[in-house]
Structure 1
């Protein structure tokens, strides 16, 4: 009797992953027929390079949403870290210091979010909405709204433009991040705690789990991932700007929810997140190749997110009849 609910949850997770897999395959087939350049090696590698920041942050966001939380500050964190990295590089700060400092800054912003959510008991939506505004404002203040160029020297720019074994370095970093997230969520005690908090936070707390600490950790990971994404974006574009990452949080949330992670917590899937992020990246790339206006791209992505939320609330969260 006790195994039936867990079996139902597995079926829901598999249904979510299967549905986004079908959608992803349909997008690939449609754009392959519509244009000859879509399946070219150069274009596919470009899709992987451009989608790397999305994949990295979506991995951490999967953990956040699985706990029943949300992080709206990731786009602003990306912009602030990227802008500060460009300023630091202009001041001849060593590349390794810029890299470590950017990830640490992102983690610190995540820790601030986690403190207010876990200890002050404030809603995650309100907290991260507030830090979204504050962090973006700091980025604007520092840069005065201007783009800060990065000199094409040192190895920092290779973080966004380099290749290893013929594969873009950002894509390899994203793959390692996804693997780490998959292991953490599926095969580690930390992942079981994350799922448990999203399912029944009070029950997990009574079982002796330090719910506040686990919650703090997932937001630290989210902030660190956003910081890393900011560094990669700045390295790829060759400049840091306070305007980077506008709307990035919506794309990340769409990728996670589209992949089958329950928007209300308790169920998460890294494989689904991978497919969701790639679907969004392929959709954006394919629409550009067939010369569709980028304004329509935003409309289509917004419609897809609405569909994903509807599926979460109406289909995947439905309970079996007794």
Structure 2
């Protein structure tokens, strides 16, 4: 009788299965990376200025608020939730920043106050979602309207200027080592988000809550507190984005951030985070946000109508959701 193993042919199948699992795990990031490169190539041929250093730095500066908030939205959507109020929080913080600076409040205290307000708004919405079990869509849709309403009430529909000599504006206009300050802030936030999402128990809890909240709760995790904290983070970084926008523009406007929530959601789902929860990727979100920013910038450089931007963004959301649904439904069925 031969001593050869009876199951030798299984080895290739094991390798194939491992390869397939790796593709399923990282396929969304690879696909958005390829799409990002295609978009960059198209605009580099369509316009002469796209690949110029000033334009690339301008993209980094303008996309910083999007990158910052998209990082937090990755946590929110991975839990199976949504935050539609991020644009309104941005607008309220921008208007309040300009108002407080005009009233003579020192700029460091203004920044701390704005971060506290953003955190409080996130905590308030998170409480209704996590503890009162009201759907996140309903809570944050109400927040979108109410918070934007307060911004309109404060400004009366007008912009509030920020003194150009104030150190506050350096947050949005300064350059550090040849790179815009907002880009450096975005890098720090994204690095922290990546580490927290991938290397900490909280990040694992976020993914677990989205996949099976009841199982995580039975494992002894306070799912309600973790869910609350996710929205606290979203509110805080939305406030940070509002500070950057007010500093860069030198004014606070209640119209700031209109449609911003759609851009953020588009960036996150385009990057491969599942709208059904349980799967997220910070790397994909970064590529998704840069893709959205590059498309908006490229359309302007190509002298196309700026009104095409929301159309393209809407199409991106639809296609991303469709692919998201097909990909992750297929992944679940294959298990």
Q: TM-score, normalised by structure 1?
A: 0.96
In 2, Cα distance between the equivalents of 1:260 and 1:109? 27
Residue number in structure 2 paired with 1:177? 189
Q: How does 1:1-322 map to 2 (within 5 A)?
A: 11-318=23-330, 319-321=332-334
CA gap 1:114/1:42 in 2 versus in 1, 3 angstroms: same
Superposition deviation, residue 7 in structure 1? 8.5
In 2, Cα distance between the equivalents of 1:98 and 1:273? 30
In 1, Cα distance between the equivalents of 2:17 and 2:155? 52
In 1, Cα distance between the equivalents of 2:127 and 2:140? 11
In 2, Cα distance between the equivalents of 1:62 and 1:46? 24
Superposition deviation, residue 9 in structure 1? 6.5
After the TM superposition, list the runs of 4 or more consecutive aligned residues in structure 1 that deviate by more than 3 angstroms: 4-11
Deviation string 1:150-177 (CA, Å, 9 cap, x unpaired) is: 1112321011011111110000100111
In 2, Cα distance between the equivalents of 1:120 and 1:307? 33
In 2, Cα distance between the equivalents of 1:146 and 1:175? 32
In 2, Cα distance between the equivalents of 1:158 and 1:98? 14
Superposition deviation, residue 92 in structure 1? 1.3
Superposition deviation, residue 13 in structure 1? 3.5
The number of equivalent residue pairs is 319
CA gap 1:201/1:144 in 2 versus in 1, 3 angstroms: same
In 1, Cα distance between the equivalents of 2:24 and 2:91? 36
In 2, Cα distance between the equivalents of 1:272 and 1:250? 17
SS at match of 1:83: helix
In 2, Cα distance between the equivalents of 1:26 and 1:271? 18
Q: CA RMSD in A?
A: 1.5
Q: Which has the larger radius of gyration?
A: 2
Deviation string 1:9-68 (CA, Å, 9 cap, x unpaired) is: 753331100110001000111111111111111000000000000000000000000011
CA gap 1:5/1:74 in 2 versus in 1, 3 angstroms: farther
In 1, Cα distance between the equivalents of 2:122 and 2:20? 33
Superposition deviation, residue 8 in structure 1? 6.8
In 2, Cα distance between the equivalents of 1:5 and 1:214? 34
Unmatched tracts of structure 1, length 5 or more = none
Q: Is the CA contact (8 Å cut-off) linking 1:16 and 1:316 kept in structure 2?
A: no
Superposition deviation, residue 311 in structure 1? 0.6
Superposition deviation, residue 320 in structure 1? 4.3
In 2, Cα distance between the equivalents of 1:178 and 1:273? 10
In 2, Cα distance between the equivalents of 1:281 and 1:106? 24
Superposition deviation, residue 321 in structure 1? 3.2
Q: Is the CA contact (8 Å cut-off) linking 1:51 and 1:277 kept in structure 2?
A: yes
